[in-house]
Structure 1
């Protein structure tokens, strides 16, 4: 039966079974020590890497890589544990060949993640620790991993800068086409509304003023020409009368000369007088007819001049109406052209801005390429470890000993609790409801026994010794 035990009882029980307990302790300790001593030695190598600040500053060159290098420390562990970095390290240094051949690269990468420890130190540095059963390999991997991480980080930053540059380049091409299309639209609009554009408003107003001045001039010329034509018309009537009179007088003198010659000789004074008067009249008639012809030519010229002036005035009126029509339509086209120019200016401003950003992106890409080698600096490279980091064999042996001792004590206690033997009077009193009458003293010698005689009562109340003896050995 099971029962509780005091510390003294436990010590006595262990002492009674000291051989068994000792054997169990030694056996368990031997197994534990074998396990501890059989564990391979694991060496840890640590490298410290510092992230350099970027130069020049953003006030000089606007960077296209949005993430600062210092901010990558927040995710440095995840990036170091990324498959590309670890796989490259495994392939480069031929790590975990058994795992790679048996279970594949993914299992080797997972195993390597367990062997790596990353700790961020301060605001611009981190520690990388790699554990391996080979001290030289641990140092090599600890020194190489930061370099691979730096290469991947630099590659990522350069790719990001290149993507930004290409993005701006594509945007420049698209905006250039847009600007060209707007320029064509504006040019076609100006061709379609030539003479009615806002920038031609002043020209049209000056043209209208010039046409008005010409109209006044031509009107005055027309007035003068019409007055001249009126004068010529009056002079024509007078000239016609004079020429007719002279012609009639000449005809009369010619008849008189004929009559005189029929009456007198050619030398007669009267004939000579009439002949002389006829010659004078004939000259006067010819002169009058000459003036009449010149006046007729002048009238024709004046009539043509008046016609031309009237045509010019009509043309000037047409020009004035055209200029006025242009001036009337200018506000309408000014609004439409303003809308086109506004959209064009927006597109051109965007184009100029993107071109400027593209130039900055190209400069930033060049700076990223030139400063890539100095972004990460290993300030404390990993050395070859001399002593193994784990397992701690002293602690392991101590733990094995404590575990063996615990197993031995537990075994002794369990066996004692399952032992129903009665070994002293106290235990007898606790387990039997009968009083103890006598205790046989412990007799020296191996064959000696101490017998306890529990009392039994009869029907009359007389106490007699019991025949059931309990050994106290």
Structure 2
């Protein structure tokens, strides 16, 4: 068995292993300044790259490129067998060490490097394939990181463009919304309220001014009613009017005032009428002059219009004015019968400048009232428009707030994406210039000088030990199955009776000498085998000092 073991071990084909070591270097620029887009752990990326390199297509490309497994490829057309054989000869092992986490300050295990190896019967091919695998690992890592950075940048740019379109669309909607509700926007609420207040103040001021102007018209109408249309006979200018003329005007003013309060038959009215008639005869003024009656009638109508705006039709002042107007209309109708005489008097008389002036003042005052009323209508229209805007503001505010809120959120998200896009561009530049985490080849694969498999000394030692064990086991098995009769007890058991006498083996002198020589040879052989075993263990299995240290450590733990 020992000879067979040696022959088998020496006839086994040799396999050579070529290995390269790649260092995992951290990012050169601090993460606080430029943050990389690759966030996975190094061992995860290494495994991902390994899976990409171990695809059927890429494995078969390397097999054909380096003409691997020629016999196996000739025996079978199935690529899966070749691929599995290639994968079994490829080894990727991580090199880990205890490091301190800079964030938490705790110690942990981290991968600082990894090895890529390939095993083949040819040492040259083993080195070539291992070198190719190392190169592909390095290139694939760079490609993966740059592609990841580019994809991240492109994704952020695409998303940023989408949000930019959303921002423009929302800005367009807000502009259209402002055009549609230009006067009802929430930011114009205070302006609209202030305009309503100002216009109401303007309406109140105009109303007060209109009332003052109406009072002026009333006063002017009373003055007009006692002012003759023409100057008296022989008077060419107002300066020539006598005190009697002024007294006549005062009496007429009092008369008009009394008529607004009492009936024409009232004693005071009758008395004042007689005084006026006497003074008119003295001055040569005709009391039935249609001009003066017309003046009184116009003044009374003006006063009636003024009072009608304040009081109802059944008010005493309204009734008195209506009675006065009826009386004046009767007098005017009676005075109109003598047309020829009135016409000749009117033609021969000069127009009274005071009358013309009062008439002009009344007309201008009425025009001012009309202007103020037009302004009031315009102000009321504006107030209604501003009130409508205010009422719409509370309805518009909700929709406007939703639009502005969506716009603000979209703008914030757009700015965030643009900021991230800038960071992604920096990360892409970081990866393209190899400033990020990188794989660096620190020990390239070399042509192996000795075989990795099989370990012939180790196998020979194990084979010899197995041979000895097999021999002993076989002897024990034969003894157990086909053992002879030995000893007094076995004879008694077989025969059923005890032997009369037991004669021991009587050895001759030559036999004793031969057994001693055999024992000495076995002892010497055992010593030699023990020494050879220790030497083999020391050189081919484990250093004796290390073995002794491990044994003592195990014993100390017991």
Q: Give the TM-score taking structure 1 as reference length.
A: 0.67
Q: How does 1:342-421 map to 2 (within 5 A)?
A: 342-371=405-434, 375-406=438-469
**Maintained 8 Å contact 2:34/2:427:** yes
User: Relative to 1, partners in 2 of residues 1:398 and 1:438: Cα closer, same or farther, differing over 3 Å?
Assistant: closer
Matched residue SS, 1:242: coil
Matched residue SS, 1:48: strand
- Could you say which residue in structure 2 is the equivalent of 1:129? 117
Q: How does 1:269-348 map to 2 (within 5 A)?
A: 285-288=349-352, 296=359, 299-348=362-411
How far apart are 1:177 and its partner, in Å? Answer: 3.4
How far apart are 1:41 and its partner, in Å? Answer: 0.9
How far apart are 1:324 and its partner, in Å? Answer: 4.0
Q: Equivalents in 2 of 1:113, 1:144: separation in Å?
A: 14
- Could you say which residue in structure 1 is the equivalent of 2:43? 73
How far apart are 1:53 and its partner, in Å? Answer: 0.3
1:166 to 154, 157, 167: 154
Structure 2 residue 94 is the aligned partner of structure 1 residue 120: yes
How far apart are 1:439 and its partner, in Å? Answer: 6.9
How far apart are 1:241 and its partner, in Å? Answer: 3.9
User: Relative to 1, partners in 2 of residues 1:293 and 1:34: Cα closer, same or farther, differing over 3 Å?
Assistant: same
- Measured on the aligned residues, the alpha-carbon RMSD in Å equals 4.1
- Could you say which residue in structure 2 is the equivalent of 1:111? 85
Structure 2 residue 11 is the aligned partner of structure 1 residue 38: yes
Q: Equivalents in 2 of 1:209, 1:438: separation in Å?
A: 148
The aligned length equals 384
Matched residue SS, 2:440: strand
Matched residue SS, 1:378: strand
**Maintained 8 Å contact 2:488/2:502:** no
Matched residue SS, 2:230: helix
Question: Which stretches of structure 1, 4 residues or longer, exceed 6 Å deviation after superposition?
Answer: 244-250, 281-284, 420-427, 437-444
User: Relative to 1, partners in 2 of residues 1:419 and 1:295: Cα closer, same or farther, differing over 3 Å?
Assistant: closer
- Could you say which residue in structure 1 is the equivalent of 2:206? 218
Q: Equivalents in 2 of 1:93, 1:373: separation in Å?
A: 33
Q: Equivalents in 1 of 2:155, 2:71: separation in Å?
A: 46
User: Relative to 1, partners in 2 of residues 1:293 and 1:132: Cα closer, same or farther, differing over 3 Å?
Assistant: same
Q: Give the TM-score taking structure 2 as reference length.
A: 0.58
**Maintained 8 Å contact 1:36/1:393:** yes
User: Relative to 1, partners in 2 of residues 1:428 and 1:202: Cα closer, same or farther, differing over 3 Å?
Assistant: closer
Q: Equivalents in 2 of 1:441, 1:305: separation in Å?
A: 169
Matched residue SS, 2:448: coil
User: Relative to 1, partners in 2 of residues 1:305 and 1:173: Cα closer, same or farther, differing over 3 Å?
Assistant: same
Q: Equivalents in 1 of 2:391, 2:397: separation in Å?
A: 11
How far apart are 1:312 and its partner, in Å? Answer: 1.0
Q: Equivalents in 2 of 1:338, 1:384: separation in Å?
A: 75
**Maintained 8 Å contact 1:65/1:161:** yes
